[in-house]
């Protein structure tokens, strides 16, 4: 980074400020913006500052494990070897870094075991084909289970800070809506009445409904209805437990000790999405911490391109070849164009929220896949302060 770049970074927003007094940090954002890496970097950075930190991720591609140099992560937290910190030149003091890769299916099973009134109900649910399908695949179940696990680990109180890397989704907002959708599904009140084959519901709902019912049978096949019926009947004793739990999870997320960070890329669309997401958080009365803009293009020297074009004549004198000078100048123009676009988008974002809420991370020229790489990101996330033992 140039002196000017470092100067700007020092005066800029810092994750540490954003997370002051927070015990839960939720990183949201659409797929492919570097959410997992950012979550891991924040966790490592806070651990390096003496905190006991756990980072939770859902990730079939084991990305977090990759970025922490762990061969695999199970459905329980595992501590990242402190020797890795030493190797990266960091002394974490009392700080600890734990990581967990969430297995949504296993978590769902745990929840069922916890809430089932008796063994028979438990087995009926776990064996039900509809259950097996939703616990794996229903949109929202991963998100719901992520929150469930977050809640559970938070209640145990073993960490100063929990960081949740939200499941990959097309749209950052899916995450907020998911628990509601899943609880609604599990409650299945109107449907329960309706599909209980010999229940009171059929008679009460009357003839119009039986037409719908027969058409549905025709479209979906009878067995599906029976499975659904069986599922809702088995789940009915647990609905209260789920609802109560969901309410408490929501309270936890809305607590002032929780914060949401939005991770996005520097192009126009992701920036608009970040603005939209903040508005939605505000509407839902959830605490917003800030935006991290990842992979920001710079002009090659670590600065956003605000200077003028290079002079081909001067470059020719330096390099001794016209052709090379022209190509170097053209490459620089490409860099400047992207840097200018990103700078304009970020300025637009800055106008929507206070400056201390926006953190820029440049598009680093090296791929991040170990603790050292995470600390390279932290130089930007933590406002130019590399940590207690950095140089």
Partner 1 sequence: MRPITDLFDKRILFVTGKGGVGKTTVALALGVAAAAAGRRTIVCEVAAQESASRIFGKAEIGFHEVELRENLSAISIDPDHSIREYLELQLPVKAMGDLLYRSKIFNYLAAATPGLAEMVTIGKIWELALDERKARRGKPYDLVIVDAPATGHGLGLMQTPKTFAEIARVGPMAHQAATINKTITNHRKAGAILIALPEEMPVNETATLEAELIDSIGIAIDRIYMNAVYPQRFSAAELERIAAAQDDAMDAQAMALAAALDQAKRAAGHAEQLERLRELARTDVAELPFLFAPELGVEELDELAGMAAE
Among 1, 319, 353, 376, binds partner 1 (CB under 8 A): 319
Residue 86 or 214: which CB sits closer to partner 1? 214
Does residue 285 come out as left (phi exceeding 0), alpha (psi in the -120 to 50 range) or beta?
left
Give the whole-angstrom CA distance, residue 332 versus residue 315. Answer: 12
Among 126, 177, 185, 352, binds partner 1 (CB under 8 A): 185
**How distant, in Å, are the alpha carbons of 135, 270, 360 from that of 349?**
38, 10, 11
B/e letters for 352-361, b = 16+ CB within 10 Å, e = fewer, are: eeeeebbbbb
Among 87, 123, 251, 334, binds partner 1 (CB under 8 A): 334
**Distance of closest approach, residue 109 Cβ to partner 1, in angstroms:** 16
Q: Which of residues 42-71 bind partner 1 (CB under 8 A)?
A: 60-63, 66-67
Q: Which of residues 121-160 bind partner 1 (CB under 8 A)?
A: 129-130, 133-134, 137-139
Among 4, 324, 347, 355, binds partner 1 (CB under 8 A): 324
Report whether 92 contacts 48 (CB < 8 A).
yes
**Distance of closest approach, residue 208 Cβ to partner 1, in angstroms:** 8
Residue 64 or 161: which CB sits closer to partner 1? 64
**Distance of closest approach, residue 137 Cβ to partner 1, in angstroms:** 6
Among 340, 350, 372, 390, binds partner 1 (CB under 8 A): 340
**Distance of closest approach, residue 197 Cβ to partner 1, in angstroms:** 14
Per DSSP, the three-state class of 70 is coil
Q: What is the DSSP letter of 188?
A: -
Q: Which of residues 70-109 bind partner 1 (CB under 8 A)?
A: none
Q: Which of residues 355-384 bind partner 1 (CB under 8 A)?
A: 365-369
Using CB under 8 A, which of the segments 72-80, 88-96, 253-261, 302-310 binds partner 1? 302-310
Give the whole-angstrom CA distance, residue 66 versus residue 77. Answer: 15
Q: Which of residues 241-300 bind partner 1 (CB under 8 A)?
A: 265, 268, 299-300
Interaction between residue 17 and partner 1 (CB under 8 A): no
Q: Which of residues 205-244 bind partner 1 (CB under 8 A)?
A: 209, 211-212, 215-224, 227-228
Backbone angles phi, psi at 303, to 5 degrees: -110, 150
Rounded to 10°, the helix 104-115/119-127 angle is: 150
Count of residues of this chain found to bind partner 1 when the rule CB under 8 A is applied: 77
Which long-range contacts does 106-112 make (Cβ < 8 Å, 24+ apart)? 106/75, 107/75, 107/145, 107/148, 107/149, 108/135, 108/141, 108/145, 109/135, 111/145, 111/148, 111/242, 111/245, 112/238
Among 314, 347, 355, 389, binds partner 1 (CB under 8 A): 314
């Amino acid at each position: 980074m140039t002196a000017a770049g470092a100067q700007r970074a020092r005066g800029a927003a810092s994750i540490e400020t954003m997370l002051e007094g927070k015990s839960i940090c939720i990183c949201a954002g659409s797929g492919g913006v570097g959410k997992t890496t950012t979550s891991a970097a924040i966790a490592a950075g806070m651990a390096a500052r003496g905190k006991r930190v756990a980072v939770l991720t859902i990730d079939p591609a084991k990305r977090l494990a990759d970025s922490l140099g762990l061969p695999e992560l199970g459905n329980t937290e595992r501590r990242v070897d402190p020797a890795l910190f030493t190797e990266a030149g960091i002394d974490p003091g009392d700080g600890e870094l734990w990581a967990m890769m969430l297995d949504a299916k296993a978590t769902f099973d745990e929840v069922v075991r916890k809430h089932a009134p008796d063994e028979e109900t438990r087995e009926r649910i776990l064996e039900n084909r509809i259950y097996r399908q939703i616990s794996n695949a229903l949109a929202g179940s991963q998100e719901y289970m992520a929150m469930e696990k977050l809640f559970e680990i938070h209640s145990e109180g073993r960490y100063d800070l929990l960081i949740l890397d939200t499941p990959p989704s097309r749209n950052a907002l899916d995450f907020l809506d998911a628990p509601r959708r899943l609880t609604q599904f599990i409650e299945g009140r109107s449907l329960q009445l309706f599909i209980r084959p010999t229940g009171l519901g059929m008679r009460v709902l009357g003839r119009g409904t039986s037409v719908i019912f027969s058409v549905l049978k025709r479209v979906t096949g009878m067995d599906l209805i029976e499975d659904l019926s069986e599922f809702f009947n088995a789940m009915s004793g647990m609905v209260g437990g789920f609802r109560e739990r969901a309410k408490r999870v929501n309270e936890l997320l809305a607590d002032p000790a929780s914060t949401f960070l939005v991770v996005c890329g520097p192009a126009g669309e992701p920036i608009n999405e970040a603005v939209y997401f903040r508005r939605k958080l505000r509407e839902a009365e959830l605490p917003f911490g800030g935006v991290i803009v990842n992979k920001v293009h710079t002009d090659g020297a670590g600065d956003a391109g605000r200077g003028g074009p290079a002079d081909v004549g001067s470059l020719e004198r330096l390099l001794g070849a016209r052709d090379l000078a022209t190509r170097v100048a053209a490459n620089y123009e490409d860099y400047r164009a992207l840097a200018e676009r990103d700078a304009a988008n970020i300025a637009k974002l800055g106008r929507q929220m206070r400056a201390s809420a926006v953190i820029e991370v440049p598009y680093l020229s090296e791929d991040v896949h170990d603790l050292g790489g995470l600390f390279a990101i932290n130089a930007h996330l933590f406002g130019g302060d590399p940590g207690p033992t950095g140089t």
